[in-house]
Amino acid sequence: MDSETILMMENISKSFPSVKALDNVHLSVKKGTVHALMGENGAGKSTLMKMLIGLYTPDSGSITFKNQPVTIPDTATALKMGISMIHQELSPIPYMTIAENIFLGREPINKLGLVDRKAMLSASRNLLKQLNIQLNPASLMKDISIANTQMVEIAKAISYNSSLIIMDEPTSAITEREVEHLFAMIRTLKEKGVSIIFITHRIDEVFEIADEITVFRDGHYIATVPTKETNKNSLISMMVGRELTNIFPKEKAEIGEVILSVKNLNRKGKVKDVSFDLRRGEILGLAGLMGAGRTEIIESIFGIAKIESGEIFIKGQKVHITRPEDAIRHGMALLTEDRRSSGIMAVLSVKDNMVIANLKQFVKNGFLQKRAIVDTCNKEKTRLDIKTPSMDQLIKLLSGGNQQKVLVSRWLLTSPDILILDEPTRGIDVGAKAEIHRLMSRLAQEGKAILMISSELPEILGMSDRVIVMHEGRLTGEFTREEASQESILRAATGLATA
């Protein structure tokens, strides 16, 4: 290990029941660099990082940090050594303040031995100001957006003054403007000699911020290359083991009659006089910057939040939706943007997660038909190509892409006519994205009407038959597939053009 290298992980292997997660992998990170760790979900990236911060113990192999062989039994040891991590799945404590979340477990103590809340607020305010994050440290975490929660997690990791920061999908829930802000922070950290391990599924980001790239595939080490010596196609090929020529496999579907019509929808301070139609067989893309009101529209349509005024028509009939049960009864299904907090039920099996929304279908004469459940779930597993060693496996142990497919399957079992997909490929790898996109195309061909919300413009442009755009709660643009472009959507999303 030379003086330029801060971390060396060699010959690392790790097995779990029924699966070998890592098989003799390597990772070497230089001081003051950004090192991208790439691979499909299930490639072993997060498993390796969990060993680096003391959540898992390697079955074999060695870790050298700052030229010293180390054993990392727990996260406290990792933090003391100078290693911190921003996790992909956010887990804030909602009824505590931003300051309390940042300093959790290391709160400043006053002379009386009590938590010095004034000092904690002051330190948090200075940290947020230094990072140009405009949040009040006294705010409760439950009252801030997912994007701002992500920024708080980033601030917390930086607050440890670590020599090495692991960033696992740090941009999955933030806007392009916030990504630029994060990258500016990363470049400042690099100048101070801090090393970053950067995990993302957004390949464009890798070529913008990373100095080197290491690729894993199916638990195996594939290669390490300087970023300037590779390209997107080569990187994708290394990740998936094949050429992935069609990331957006949009197939032509017959677009039929209007199935959902929203008229003059208003929700105080969130949604302002929004109207649009959704047709059978259509994928309607809903674009806009974070905070534009996209999720708020969905919450209103699906009965999660109360609308102030407006009308909703399904198949030409006016409907009153005041709770999600009403929406489901009218043939709607919703895949939420945050699969961990409002999607998967982590302590239940794949099978239980799949059927939970439609258990009534499997009750006969007051008894649950377990055989029918198993048969149905196995058919869905094959249909959606869900990779799991067993239908009794806990869903939390599946990769993000496979969790997402289980959630899609859950809603398909309710036989919906309208599928609302909020960030359907957030936090999943390029191969799994193509599978989700292929599934969306197939469902549209079957006559499903799909409303897709996405923060990724390539996804909006690649998968939508038509695009509507929001800015500050209003619809500011509508484009056919032929009319839509990155420039036209961004102009509408920033309020420079109006519908």
Q: What does the pLDDT look like over 130-151, one tens digit per residue?
A: 888 889 999 999 898 877 888 8
- Helix (H) / strand (E) containing 50: helix 45-52
Of the pLDDT bands very low, low, confident and very high (cuts 50, 70, 90), residue 252 is confident
Contact 302, 261 (CB under 8 A): no
pLDDT of residue 497: 62
Spatial CA neighbour of 435 closest among 392, 481, 390, 383: 383
Tokens (6 digits) for 129: 């100001």
Token pair of 330 as six digits: 């009218």
Query: Which residues are paired to 9 by β-bridges?
Result: 27, 63
Query: pLDDT per residue over 263-278, tens digit each?
Result: 999 998 789 999 999 9
- Look-up of token digits 């997402």: 404
What is the arithmetic mean of pLDDT over 335-352? 76
The percentage of residues in the chain with a pLDDT greater than 90, rounded to a whole number, is 46
Single out the residue of 433, 469, 436, 471 nearest to residue 453, CA to CA: 469
Q: Which two tokens stand for residue 197?
A: 């391990």
Q: Which tokens hold the place of 467?
A: 């695009």
Q: Which two tokens stand for residue 274?
A: 């929004």
| pLDDT band at 155; cut points 50, 70, 90 | confident
The residue with greater pLDDT, 87 or 124, is: 124
Strands (E) in 218-339, as ranges, are 220-226, 258-267, 271-279, 283-288, 309-314, 317-319, 332-335
What average pLDDT does the chain have? 87
More confident residue, 317 or 249: 317
3-state secondary structure of 468: strand
- The pLDDT tens digits for 39-73 are 876 688 889 999 999 999 999 999 999 999 999 99
- Return d(Cα 143, Cα 31) in angstroms, integer: 37
Minimum mean pLDDT among 192-196, 208-212, 386-390, 414-418: which range? 386-390
Of residues 40, 58, 243, 295, the one with CA closest to residue 49 = 58
What pLDDT was estimated at residue 300?
92
Position 453, amino acid: I
What domains can be seen in the chain, in order of their start residue?
Answer: 5-240 (3.40.50.300), 258-493 (3.40.50.300)
User: What number is the average pLDDT over the span 405-420?
Assistant: 87
In angstroms, the CA 39 to CA 428 distance is 10
| Residue 18: per-residue pLDDT | 61
* pLDDT given at position 174: 73
Instruction: Give whichever of 151-165, 265-279, 354-368 has the largest mean pLDDT.
Output: 265-279
Dist. CA 6–CA 473, nearest whole Å:
47
What is the reported pLDDT for 498?
54
Is residue 363 predicted with pLDDT exceeding 90?
no
Report which of residues 435 and 468 the model is more confident about.
468
Of the pLDDT bands very low, low, confident and very high (cuts 50, 70, 90), residue 245 is low
What pLDDT was estimated at residue 21? 87
What's the average model confidence in pLDDT over 242-254? Answer: 72
Q: Using one digit for the tens of pLDDT, what is the confidence trace for 216-227?
A: 988 899 999 999
Alpha carbon distance 302, 188 (integer Å): 43
E strand or H helix at 452 = strand 449-453
Lowest mean pLDDT among 60-74, 165-179, 224-238, 472-486: 165-179
Which pair of structure tokens corresponds to residue 460?
């909006």
Q: Is the pLDDT of residue 89 over 70?
A: no
pTM: 0.59
Report the pLDDT value the prediction gives residue 172, as an integer from 0 to 100.
73
Q: What's the gap between Cα 310 and its chain centre?
A: 31
Query: CA–CA separation, 438 vs 424, rounded Å?
Result: 12
Average pLDDT over residues 460-488: 91
| 281: alpha, beta or left? (left if phi > 0; alpha if psi -120 to 50) | left
Highest mean pLDDT: which range of 152-166, 273-287, 433-447: 273-287
What local confidence, expressed as pLDDT, does residue 480 receive? 94
Task: Quickly count: other Cβ atoms within 10 Å of residue 129's Cβ.
Answer: 12
Tally of residues, the chain: 499
pLDDT above 60: residue 499: no
Give dist(CA 91, CA 163) in Å, integer: 23
Q: Strand 309-314 and strand 317-319: pairing? A: antiparallel
Phi, psi of 30 (to 5 degrees): -85, 155
Cα–Cα distance for residue pair 364/450, rounded to 1 Å: 32
Q: What is the pLDDT of residue 141?
A: 92
Helices and strands counted in the chain (H then E): 17, 22
Q: Is the pLDDT of residue 120 over 90?
A: yes
Q: How do beta strands 367-368 and 363-364 pair?
A: antiparallel
d(Cα 201, Cα 496) in Å, to the nearest integer? 30
Task: Locate all alpha helices (DSSP H) within 389-429, ordered by sequence.
Answer: 400-412
pLDDT of residue 338: 64
